Amino acid sequence: MTKHSKITAIETPVIGYFDLADLYLSDLNPRQDVDDADIDLLAQSIVACGLIQNLSGLMDENGKVGIVAGGRRLRALQIAVHEEPNLSQVPVKLAVDAHMAETWANVENSVRVDLHPADEIRAFGKMFDKSLGVPRIAKVFGVTEKHVYRRLALVNLPSPVLDALKSGEINMTMAASFTVCDDEKLSLEVLERVRGDSHSAHQMKNMLKPSAVSGSDRKAVFVGAGDYKAAGGIVGGDLFSDQITFDSPDILEEIFQSKLAKVAADLCKEQGWKWAETIESSHIGYWEIEQGGYERFYPVEGALAEDQTKRFEELSGLDDEGDLDKDGETELALMQTTIDGDYTTKQKAHGGIIVNVSHSGEVSISGGLVKREDKKAAIEAGVLAKSNHQSSDKPKSDYSQKLIDDLKAIKLGARQNAMVNKADMMLDLLAFQLSGNTGYRRIFEMRFDHPRNQPDTETGFCLDARLTEPNDVPKDNWNSDLEKTFSEFQAKGKKHRNAEIARHLAALLSGGDEAFSAVLDEASGANIRSVWTPTAENFFKRVNGAYLEALHLTMLDLKADHKDAKAFTKLKKGEKAVFLETIFGDEDTRNALGLDDDQKARIDAWLPDYFG
């Protein structure tokens, strides 16, 4: 279905394909305002993974379609199509009428259907292959970074295993069990045996890690039967088959590790690298490199002489036509090697390689890697470019990004907690924003998407109940008598009206910009410690040990050489966190330590320096 299709009334919802140019955001769509940065990230995910979920809309009299569900995807497609032109044809589910379209719009805005785990695994993997980091993937899909890491751990599962997971023939526990198997042939055999049945992780691993290892296992192929038998390994197999089994898995594993380490050491010496390491995995991808904290440089490209360039083009043309003979193939390969270039001696002096064994049992090398401790020297030597995103001179923050998000939420919660008692100020601020005097800045989140005002961990945090209690909604959200309901609401009086305005506006309050937020905090008497008390779970375990030691000295007026300070330093990080929690929240502990009123007041008023 395109813009040239004849427009006819439809009786049931249908899916048609439309030119992107013929789609627009419907007024029925509840998400009229969006964050541009989020849309850019979503566009990158669509380029990497395609459009996973269709749009929904209502066709107008001109044959164009107003999108009622999927407004963020529509905006992202308008960006992504410049990089991936195939996205210009968009699948859209068409509503029968405006009532159905409005229903879809409201349902999509309130109920989100999560991606199937198999789709997540593939989508996250594709984005990772495009060098999009875990934090960005997590933000695009609205999940935690931990969730992304769990899915990425399954990226290298055989495709039939993921297909079986998607179709419901196996569950997530069964799918995850396949990661223990290095033999794809065995994995697929086990998959056929377990389809449609439920098996525990223990049962799965017994099938996937039998006492005898198949001769097709990558480790068996790499080691070879000769070296294995020379080390005392027992070989078995079916008398009626050419397939052998390695019946001494411990011996096989020992030889595998030893041989791989020797191969890595030999390659390091022969090629002139600073270091070489091995990895157990059959695959080395962007994730493994990111997790290892490595930076990367690339080979220095070579150049052909003018006559060689002409010859290269001639040979390439013959190769494209399939007319290149064996000598020509050799000559072309040598020229391509020259063009591809190689790592220089200077580069190798600052970098290394990771060596692993692939699924086929062959040695695989990932080179040009720089360890964290070698990064500074590599930059100074000119073999590694300095990052444009983060200054190496900038000290690492004491706070993780997740903790920063929680601290921001805590500060906002305190502001709202104070404002819930300021009904008149809420009305003044509402009028101020509605008048347009705030420009593009918002004091209230008037899209009615409540800003985050509670951290992930609820310990030590308590908001005014009016900010969290649910609305008193009618039993029938579509057909209730609005006139009667409104009359009943009015009868409750101005005090009730003001209280409702105050609690709902307070829950929408974000504050405008930072300077004006500070003005609001002062005017309302916002106090972060009135809603939040630091605990081991919500704060102390989430910063480093040095931070805890410095805080301990400050709160208790201790010198670093004091016996109590030295004793605290020797504690494990978790023990330090629990101890600080007790002096912040347990009066008996404070008294036992002999804290005076000034020290107690300092503890009760203390806030992380993130809050300024």
In a domain, 193, yes or no: no
Buried b (16+ CB within 10 A) or exposed e, 15-53: ebebeeebbebbebbbbeeeeeeebebbbbbbbbbebee
Considering 474, 496, 530, which residue would you say is the last residue of a domain? 530
Question: From CA 575, how far away is CA 536, in angstroms rounded?
Answer: 9
Nearest-10 crossing angle of helices 184-194, 201-208: 140
Q: In this structure, are 446 and 559 located in the same domain?
A: no
Written in H, E and C, the secondary structure of 58-77 is: EECCCCCEEEEECHHHHHHH
Question: From CA 132, how far away is CA 123, in angstroms rounded?
Answer: 11
Q: What is the DSSP letter of 466?
A: G
Q: In this structure, are 545 and 514 located in the same domain?
A: no
Q: In this structure, are 417 and 374 located in the same domain?
A: no
In a 10 Å sphere around its CB, with 0-12 CB exposed, 13-18 middle and 19+ buried, how is residue 410 labelled?
buried
In a domain, 144, yes or no: no
Q: In this structure, are 557 and 585 located in the same domain?
A: yes
Q: In this structure, are 422 and 489 located in the same domain?
A: yes
Q: In this structure, are 26 and 93 located in the same domain?
A: yes
Q: What are the residue ranges in the chain where pLDDT is below 50? A: 1-10, 110-111, 239-240, 388-394, 448, 477
Q: Is the pTM of this model over 0.85?
A: no
Q: In this structure, are 514 and 447 located in the same domain?
A: yes
Number of domains present in the structure of the chain: 4
The DSSP code sequence of 303-336 is ---HHHHHHHHHHHHHHHHT---HHHHHHHHHHH
In a domain, 83, yes or no: yes
Q: In this structure, are 602 and 521 located in the same domain?
A: no
Q: In this structure, are 18 and 100 located in the same domain?
A: yes
Write the CB contacts of 583 (distance below 8 Å, at least 6 apart in sequence).
Answer: 555, 556, 589, 590, 593, 595, 603
Provide the token pair at 497.
Answer: 């009206």
Convert the pLDDT of each residue in 28-82 to its tens digit. 776 666 667 778 777 877 877 778 778 899 988 888 899 988 888 898 898 888 8
Written in H, E and C, the secondary structure of 84-104 is: CHHHHEEEEEECCCHHHHHHH
Convert the pLDDT of each residue in 315-347 to its tens digit. 888 887 788 888 888 988 888 888 888 899 999
CATH number at residue 106: 3.90.1530.10
Convert the pLDDT of each residue in 475-492 to its tens digit. 554 555 666 766 676 777
Q: What is the domain range of residue 59?
A: 14-110
**Per-residue pLDDT at 532:** 92
In a domain, 389, yes or no: no
SS3 392: coil
Convert the pLDDT of each residue in 436-455 to its tens digit. 555 555 677 765 455 676 77
SS3 232: coil
**Structural element, H or E, at residue 130:** none
Distance of CA 364 to the CA centre of its chain: 28
